[in-house]
Amino acid sequence: MVRKFDVSTSWLQTKELCRYYRRGPHEVRAVDRVNLYLERGEFLGIVGASGSGKSTMLNLMAGLDTPTSGRIEIDGTALSSLTRRELAAYRARRVGMVFQSFNLLAHQTALKNVELALYFNDTPARARRIRATEILERLGLGDRLDHVPADLSGGEQQRVAIARALVKGPEVLFADEPTGNLDQVNTEQIAELLAGLNRQGLTVVVATHDLDMARRYAHRTVRMDYGKLVATDSGRTDGEPGQ
């Protein structure tokens, strides 16, 4: 097998990754033979129209969904070879997820929303509170700790959701349309925040239909179309057929 570039250091690699859904007599190829790599420290944009498979792709990479066929390797280890417990640890510790709709607990404060992310991580209560407070302060929400989501702006809610993802100290942040519910000003702020976290060393993957945002913030942007990876805007292409 000849490789065009050295991908031995990739944090993640997918190989002929497929996720098909059956819908009545039809098969929906949400992700169709995708070969993608993710380098440590990069900011990757995944763009494509609604329904092109971006969310499915993120959920697969985050270990929240299981491929129909093909594989995902993290540091060269197939996710499918992990035990249930190891997969749970991967999801809980190594990756963070952020969604368009924030998915915060409506009746809990910002602080509690972030603390709860550590609840399943064997972190003592006092340490949970300290770490949650620290990360919220770092994201500029030090004076919003006791606010419930309804008393926060959309941009602030998304920052709480980002804090919740970061408090576990993940290696990679997967963000699914993180600015989809935000106005232009908040979109810029959240994109800047993600770029800043990336500059500090966090690997970031953003799925978005906002090509303009992806172009401005991502190091590399790949495009999905009907489940296929169809293009990349850097000089590198992934996994040509026959590789």
Q: How far is residue 62's CA from residue 163's CA, in Å, rounded to a whole number?
A: 17
13, 35, 52, 186: which one binds ligand ADP (CB under 6 A): 52
Residue 206 as a binder of ligand ADP (CB under 6 A): the answer is no
Instruction: Name every residue whose Cβ is closer than 8 Å to that of residue 223 and which is 6 or more positions away in sequence.
Output: 46, 47, 48, 229, 230, 231, 232, 233
Q: What's CA 172's distance to the chain center, in Å?
A: 7
Q: CB of 202: closest distance to Mg ion in angstroms?
A: 22
Q: Which stretch binds Mg ion (CB under 5 A): 49-57, 101-109, 122-130, 195-203?
A: 49-57
- The number of residues making up the chain comes to 243
> Distance between terminal CA atoms of the chain?
7
In the numeric block, the tokens 């620290």 are attached to 134
Pick 47 or 110: Cβ nearer Mg ion: 47
Q: Which does 48 bind (CB under 5 to 8 A by kind): ligand ADP, Mg ion, none?
A: ligand ADP
Residue 51 as a binder of ligand ADP (CB under 6 A): the answer is yes
Contact of 207 with 176, CB cutoff 8 Å: yes
Q: Which stretch binds ligand ADP (CB under 6 A): 23-31, 33-41, 104-112, 122-130?
A: 23-31
Q: Which stretch binds ligand ADP (CB under 6 A): 21-29, 80-88, 92-100, 114-122?
A: 21-29
In the numeric block, the tokens 């060269």 are attached to 76
Residue 98 as a binder of ligand ADP (CB under 6 A): the answer is no
13, 14, 35, 55: which one binds Mg ion (CB under 5 A): 55
In the numeric block, the tokens 């809980």 are attached to 92
Binding site for ligand ADP (CB under 6 A): 21, 23, 28, 30, 48, 50-56
